[in-house]
Structure 1
Amino acid sequence: MTQHPDHLLDAAAGWLARTNDPEFADWDGFMAWLEADPANADAYHQLADSEAELLPVVERLAPAPEPLSAPAVARPRRGWAIAAGLAALGALGLTAVPILSGKTYTTAPGEMRTIALADGDELVLNGGTQIHLAGLDRRDIRLDRGQLMLKLHGRDEGPVSVRAGDLEVVDVGTVFEVSRDETATRVLVSEGEVVADPDGARLHLSRGEGLTASDGETVLKAEKVAIDAAGSFSRGQLTYMGDPIARVAADLSRSTGIDFSTTPAMAQRPFSGTLSIAEVRRDPASLGPLLGVPVKSSGRGWIVGEGP
Structure 2
Amino acid sequence: MASESGTTRFERLVFRPSADALRPIDPAIVDQAVAWLVKIQSGGASASESDACDRWRQSHPDHERAWLRLCGLGRDLREGTSAVTPQIARSTLRGVDRQQRRWALKAVAGLGVSAWGAWGAWAMRHDIAALNADHCTAAGERRRVVLADGTQVMLNTRTAIDVRFDAATRTLRLLGGEIMVATAKDAMRRPFVVLGRDGRIVPIGTRFVVREFDGDGGERSEVTVLEGAVDVSAGERSQVTRVPAGSRVRYSAASVGAVGHLDESAAAWADGSLVVERMRLDDFVAELGRYRTGVLRCDPAVASVLVSGSFPLADTDAVLAMLEETLPVRRQSLSRYWVTVAAR
Which interval holds the TM-score relative to the shorter structure? 0.5 to 0.7
Under a length normalisation based on structure 2, what TM-score does the superposition of the two structures give? 0.49
- Structure 1, unmatched stretches of 5+, are 1-101
In structure 2, the partner of 1:149 is 180
In structure 2, what residue type is equivalent to 1:296? R
- Separation in 2 of the partners of 1:206 and 1:200? 19
2:235 equivalent to 1:205: no
Counterpart contact for 1:189–1:206, Cα < 8 Å: yes
- Equivalent residue for 2:320, pick from 284, 295, 299: 284
Counterpart contact for 1:124–1:149, Cα < 8 Å: yes
Decide whether aligned partners of structure 1 residues 139 and 305 sit closer, same or farther in structure 2, where only a CA change above 3 A counts: farther
State the superposition RMSD in angstroms: 3.4
In structure 1, what residue type is equivalent to 2:249? L
- Structure 2, unmatched stretches of 5+, are 1-131
- Equivalent residue for 2:194, pick from 162, 173, 180: 162
2:266 equivalent to 1:229: yes
- Separation in 1 of the partners of 2:200 and 2:306? 27
Q: How far off its partner does 1:109 sit?
A: 0.4
Length, aligned pairs only: 203
Summarize deviations over 1:65-97 as a string: whole Å, max 9, x none.
xxxxxxxxxxxxxxxxxxxxxxxxxxxxxxxxx
Q: How far off its partner does 1:127 sit?
A: 1.8
- Equivalent residue for 2:275, pick from 226, 239, 252: 239
Counterpart contact for 1:252–1:258, Cα < 8 Å: no
In structure 2, the partner of 1:174 is 206
- Equivalent residue for 2:157, pick from 116, 124, 127: 127
In structure 2, the partner of 1:116 is 146
- Separation in 2 of the partners of 1:200 and 1:267? 40
Counterpart contact for 1:201–1:220, Cα < 8 Å: no
Under a length normalisation based on structure 1, what TM-score does the superposition of the two structures give? 0.54
Q: How far off its partner does 1:227 sit?
A: 3.6
| SS state at 2:190 partner | coil
- Separation in 2 of the partners of 1:104 and 1:168? 19
Decide whether aligned partners of structure 1 residues 302 and 166 sit closer, same or farther in structure 2, where only a CA change above 3 A counts: same
- Equivalent residue for 2:232, pick from 190, 196, 204: 196
Q: How far off its partner does 1:150 sit?
A: 0.7
Q: How far off its partner does 1:235 sit?
A: 0.8
Q: How far off its partner does 1:245 sit?
A: 5.4
In structure 2, what residue type is equivalent to 1:212? R
2:318 equivalent to 1:296: no
Decide whether aligned partners of structure 1 residues 119 and 144 sit closer, same or farther in structure 2, where only a CA change above 3 A counts: closer
In structure 2, what residue type is equivalent to 1:294? V
Deviates more, 1:150-159 or 1:267-276: 267-276
Decide whether aligned partners of structure 1 residues 246 and 155 sit closer, same or farther in structure 2, where only a CA change above 3 A counts: farther
Decide whether aligned partners of structure 1 residues 168 and 112 sit closer, same or farther in structure 2, where only a CA change above 3 A counts: same
